[in-house]
Amino acid sequence: MRILLHPGFHKTGTSSLQRGAEARMDQLAPHLRLMVTSDVIDAARAARRYSARPDDETLHRFAEHFAAAMTPIEASDTRALLISCEDLSGYIPGNHNVPAYDAAPALMEVATATLQAHFGAATQITIWYTTRAPAPWQRSVWYQNLRALRVTESFEVYQPRLNRAARLDEIVTAVQTRLQGRARVAATPIETCGALPLGPLGAALDHLGIETEGIAPLPAQNIQPEGATLELLALNRSDLDDEALTKAKRDVLQRHRRVGNTRRDPSQGA
């Protein structure tokens, strides 16, 4: 069997891939098993904690939770397995003061060993990342953190904080070096696969050798409200308490989406 582990990166089409795969499982189920964030939620939480506090105990907790998530998955089933969860690379850079994806190599080494232990050493494992050009990735991460955190800097001020994190290809190389051939490591730029009818899901299915003919194109995911950034930034700079701030941000986003004032983030695929 083949396993494709897709651990991100954030803002590189992960939502499009995951939701698209879930929506097409009636067609894909004869050939594919799917696990997304909700299926590995405890492991994802442990991975985030490890990225913020990289110690042996936290990494061990990740190993335990990832192994527990694999336990109900039948090892003798020869269908391909796709595991997609960007949080398996840790927190999105900027959250919890995590500067970059430095935790990824250790996390993927543990994940690979766990998959081999459960499914057998002969299993074909590919660690596959979707990547993105630095400047648009940085802007998308800034917007995500603007929504989720109390970021008060403009993009121009915030961007240098993400300079090292934006070198996603270097993280892919570091993972490849850490695994030393125990799993194949690959990456696809979202600029290459995002505009295709199936977006990054199509690239994932290609890696797994699954035919894509006849699968309906996918709608866009994670539509970014046009013009909401200035309002969100002003709210973050206000003296609202955390609860009021969360509600105010939610109201802004809902209002923009309700009136259709949106633009598609290319990282979300077709």
In this predicted structure, what is the pLDDT of residue 265?
Answer: 45
What is the tally of structural domains in the chain? Answer: 1
Q: If you search the block for the tokens 């990456």, which residue do you land on?
A: 187
Confidence of residue 229 (pLDDT cuts 50, 70, 90): very high
For residue 14, the enclosing domain spans: 2-219
DSSP assignments along the chain, one per residue: -EEEEE---TTSSHHHHHHHHHHTHHHHTTTEEEE-GGGGHHHHHHHHHHHHS--HHHHHHHHHHHHHHHTTS-TT--SEEEEE-GGGG-SPTTGGG--SSTTHHHHHHHHHHHHHHHH-TTSEEEEEEEE--HHHHHHHHHHHHHHHS---S-HHHHGGGGTTTT-HHHHHHHHHHHHTTSSEEEEEEHHHHTTSTTHHHHHHHHHTT---TTPPPPPP-SEEETTHHHHHHHHHTS---HHHHHHHHHHHHHHHHHTT-EEE-GGG--
151 domain-assigned: yes
251 domain-assigned: no
- Summarize pLDDT for 38-89 with one digit per residue, the tens: 999 999 999 999 999 999 999 999 999 999 999 999 999 999 999 999 999 9
268 domain-assigned: no
60 domain-assigned: yes
29 domain-assigned: yes
- Summarize pLDDT for 93-140 with one digit per residue, the tens: 999 999 999 999 999 999 999 999 999 999 999 999 999 999 999 999
265 domain-assigned: no
CATH code for the domain in which residue 180 is found = 3.40.50
7 domain-assigned: yes
Confidence of residue 141 (pLDDT cuts 50, 70, 90): very high
- Summarize pLDDT for 184-223 with one digit per residue, the tens: 999 999 999 988 889 999 999 999 999 999 998 876 665 6
266 domain-assigned: no
